[in-house]
Amino acid sequence: MPAGVYRHLDGGLDERFHCAPGPGGWRYTSSRPGLRTDIVVDSRWRQIRVELVTPGWWVRGGVTGPDVAWVRASGGTGTGTGTGTEHAERAAGFLSDSPGFLVAVARALDLADGAERDVRLVAFTGPSLAPLTAPWRWRRTGTSVHETGTEPLPVAGYDVTNLSTGEITRVHLAGDVVLDAPGIELADLESPPNLA
């Protein structure tokens, strides 16, 4: 079960994470100052349960067929101070600045080297978890193999383009661990990534 620390370079914050395959999919949990994240995916890597909690807001949602649905409310305890607002959007999943979302989206797309695919995602940003739906293009640039002390480690590279802005970023994944991404550094890894 991989566990470790991602460093968010912009704010100098550390995100402590755990992730593990389960009988029906995969789960990622993390916490850092100002945000708690919980992502559960099914065997096809669809985000069936997502929860984000900040000091002032919380979001719970998941994929429902071709759409995503979520509830967003004020109150950072996860219970809210009142009734949350329900939302639905035609999209394949969610994004946030937690690296777990990069793993979930990349694995759901299941791209071969050189392949690309456009996908609509709902991104939650800032301390208020404001939602923004945008189209993204994911292209798998290739896979390199790195020798380690135990077994070869395949690393997949992706170019991720926000089609609304044209901004292209590069992401490198080893199984279910992000090795690097814009503003993200893998600061510590206590056990090897799951490669299956």
Pairing of strands 3-8, 153-162: unpaired
pLDDT given for residue 22 in this prediction:
77
pLDDT given for residue 82 in this prediction:
57
Per DSSP, which regions of 65-176 are E strands? 67-74, 85-90, 93-95, 116-125, 130-146, 153-162, 168-174
48-75 tens-digit pLDDT: 999 999 999 999 999 998 999 999 999 8
Pairing of strands 57-64, 67-74: antiparallel
pLDDT given for residue 165 in this prediction:
94
Low-confidence ranges of the chain (pLDDT < 70): 76-82
Q: Whole-structure pTM over 0.75, yes or no?
A: yes
pLDDT given for residue 152 in this prediction:
85
**Domain residue ranges of the chain, discontinuous segments joined by +:** 3-189
